[in-house]
Each structure stands twice: as C-alpha cells, then as structure tokens.
Amino acid sequence: MSPTVLRGAMLSSSASPCRALALAACLLFALLSAPRAGAQSSDPADAIEVPSPQELIDAGRFEEAFVLLQPQLLRETIEPNTLFLYGLAAVGAAQRPGRTEEEHDALLDEAIAAFHALLVRNPALVRVRLELARAFFLKGEDELARRHFEHVLAGEPPEAVADNVNLFLAEIRARKRWSFNLGFAVAPDTNIGGTSDERTITIFGLPFERDAEELTRSGIGLSFWGGAEYQAPVSDSLRIRAGAQASRREYARSDFDQHFVGLHLGPRWLLDASTEASLLASARQRWSGAPDYHDLGVRLEAAHRLGPRVTASAQTSWHDRRYRTRTHLDGPVWDATLRGSWVVTPTVRADVSGGYAQQRPKSRRERHRGRWLGTGITVALPLGFTVGGSAEMRWTDYERGWFPYVADNGPREDRTRSYRLSAFNRALTLMGFSPELAVVRETRDSNAQLHGYSRTSGELRFVQQF
C-alpha cells in the first residue's frame, strides 16, 4: 500500500467509532475467555513478542488482528496499510463459525467502510477493490459486488485471480433472488411539457398568434421511483421472474404530472456461464398531462459477457396500446435496443446503445418510426469524485398528413439531440447513497411548425454507491 497518510478517523454511516469499539471489546472478551494451552510464565525473560497485525492475519487469527488494529483508527492520522489490514481482519473475523448475523454484518460493514475510504482517495487500487467486492458478496449485496468485480477484471489481474472473480460472478448470477431499487430527486426544468416556444404559426402564408397557455413553462418537480423483483428457482438453469416498477413526477401544475406502473412475469434461463435470456409478459399503465393509456404485451431480454470487461445486452418488446379517450391513437408499439458496456480500466467505464421503435396507431399521420444512438463514459477520480457524460441522437419520421404544421401536408421529421453531465462525490454517503447532480440539455429540430423545442433540465438525486 502507498505510504501516504490518511488524515482523520475513519467515519462513515456504516461504521462508527462507537460500534467499532464495541466490536473490538466483544472480540477481546472472547479472546480473553478462551482457554490457553499452557500455563503462563511470570518470568519477563520468557515473554513472547506480540505478533504484528499482518502476521496475525497470515496465521488466520483475525479477531486478534482486529482488536490490535482498532485503537490505531482513533489516531489523528491513519496509515493506508493499517486501514487495509483492518478491513482484511474484519472480513476474516466475520466468517468465523458461530458468529451471529448481527455480528457478521457489523464486521463486514467495518471492512466495507475501510476499503471504501481507501478507494475514495485512490480509485485505482485494484487489490482494495477486490476485497471490497468480496465483502459486499459476503454481505449479500450482490449488485454492488458484481460492479466492483467487473472493475477488478479491468485491472488485468493474474489469471488465478481472474478465474476466482469469474466464479464469484457466476455465483452472483445463480443465487439472485430479490432485487430492489428506490430513489427520489428534485428536478428543475426550463420546459416542462417539451413544447415549442414559437409564438406564431403560418397557414397559407398568413401568421396566426398562439394562445399564451400553449407556450413553454418552467418549473421544479419532485420525482420518486421504486421497484422490486423476485426470482423463484425452478432448476439450476431456470428461474421465474415476477416484478413491479412505479414512478411519479409532480409539478405545481397537475397538467404536467406523470405517473407510471409496470408489471412483468416470466421465465429466465441461464443458458451458460456467460449468457442468459428472459421472456416476460408485460403490463404498463401511464398517466400524464396527455390522455392516459395502458399497454399489454411481451418483452424478450438477453445478456452475454463477451469477455472479462465487455458485456452486451439486447431487449425487444411488443405491446398493444389502448388509450382511455383518444382511441384513434390505439395500436401496436414495437421496439428493440442493443447495449454494450466496456470497463476500460478500474476507474473508467464506457457505454454505447442503439435502438429502433415503431408505432402503428389507427390515425395514419401519427404512425412513426424512430432510431437512436447513444454513448457515455463514467470516470472515477481521486478525492472521491466521479464524473460522467453522455450524448444521444434520435431520428423520428412520421407519415404524411401534417398540414398546417407542414405546408405541403407532407411527413413530419424530428431530430432530437440530448447531452447529459453528472457528478457526485463517493465520500459523501448516507446509508450507502450519494447525492448526484445531473444537467441535461435537449434540442429537437422539426420540419413541422410548433414541434421543435429546446429545454435544460437538472436533477439532484440520490444514488447507491461504494
């Protein structure tokens, strides 16, 4: 480990000095209560030199190493190697047979906080990231463990280590049962409804003024989302997935509120060590400023690890859409998406995506098809900062019949560009969540009057890190 000194005690929401002292006291009591294999000599000359923490860990005496290291964390300065050994000792002590679940999780939380503190300072420490991933795995935090194991592979570890990491990843995939997501955000937007700021429309060469109510409006919304899924095992290679997802965005004016609920059910096949597929029945309901609608259909998902650092996934779905009032918009909706993820280095991740979609409502002029391409990159920097950027381009083409918006009643063509920047600090956490600030700029150019717009939106949200 680097000789650089970490300043200040190791404090986090998951590991406090009080709890660390309590754990150390419990372990010390257990050690003192344990029977000794021989009588103790009172002769100082016969005193045995106290082993170092590294020697205790190498000998598998993790509780003793934990007790020996704990007081050093209360000093004004902490050596990185001390913090690393403390994490190793906590992980080892957590795995002792007979440990209660509360003690097991508390020790792993100590280890996670120690490794996290080191990675906040220097995210390129592959060995530390490996131990953090292992601690998350032992605690059952599989999604976080998977993320860090993938970044370890990007560091090109020795073949034996890479093989072991792949075994962990295979076990994570096989034992997956429950998964959850929950979050909220404050979301200011300069153009809530995504409407044009053009004040006039020209019909047969004559200008007409728009109603003021139709012009763009800015506002601040509150966004909430959450979901859960359970995977019931049928065999070693087959699971049944059942899940739900919901989201809600509220503004001062209810005309712009948005609500969504989705349900899915179906089998998931683990085809081999690196490939899986799911076929899901899907139901969706959306309420928004426009008339609400519901979808019923199917969704096919597939994922494959192309290599230690590259993952590809695909999704395609077909739904029959039905509106409550505007029935002329009823019709089938189809889409397909391809995504790729490349962990370039332990601190850099790149993503690329592309897709195609088509809607065929009863109204001929509302029928359209769209294509999109997107790319993004995320970089973990020293001192705990993580920054990201992405860009996306969409092409949407409608059929004829757009007079008076298109002078010759021709087809409508939209081109939409969006750019996103985000940043957060991994050192700022509350129960494993970090506040993330994101800014999005979106512009749509259209050959149809009143259908182009621009908007700038922001989001202050909380994302799970470590």
Length of the chain: 466
> Which of 352, 370, 350, 351 has its CA nearest to residue 360?
370
- Weakest mean pLDDT among 89-93, 153-157, 193-197, 215-219: 215-219
Spell out a b/e string for 258-291, using b for 16 or more CB atoms within 10 Å of the CB, else e. Answer: beeebebebebebeeebebebebebebebbeeee
pLDDT of residue 69: 92
Q: Do 261 and 244 touch, CB atoms closer than 8 A?
A: yes
Q: Tell me the C-alpha distance between 382 and 388, whole Å.
A: 14
257-282 per-position pLDDT tens digit: 889 999 999 999 999 989 999 999 99
Task: Read off the pLDDT of each residue in 161-183 and give the average, rounded to a whole number.
Answer: 91
Residue 290 — very low, low, confident or very high, per pLDDT cuts 50/70/90? low
Position 183 pLDDT exceeds 80: yes
Q: Tell me the C-alpha distance between 436 and 366, whole Å.
A: 37
| Average pLDDT score, the chain | 87
184: helix, strand or coil = strand
Position 97 pLDDT exceeds 80: yes
pTM, rounded to two decimals: 0.82
319-378 per-position pLDDT tens digit: 999 998 889 999 999 999 999 999 999 999 999 999 999 999 999 999 999 999 999 999
Task: Read off the pLDDT of each residue in 145-161 and give the average, rounded to a whole number.
Answer: 93
Task: Read off the pLDDT of each residue in 144-160 and give the average, rounded to a whole number.
Answer: 93
Domains of the chain plus CATH, in order, are 6-32+51-175 (1.25.40.10), 178-464 (2.40.160.40)
- Weakest mean pLDDT among 198-207, 222-231, 351-360, 375-384: 198-207
- Weakest mean pLDDT among 36-50, 215-229, 351-365: 36-50
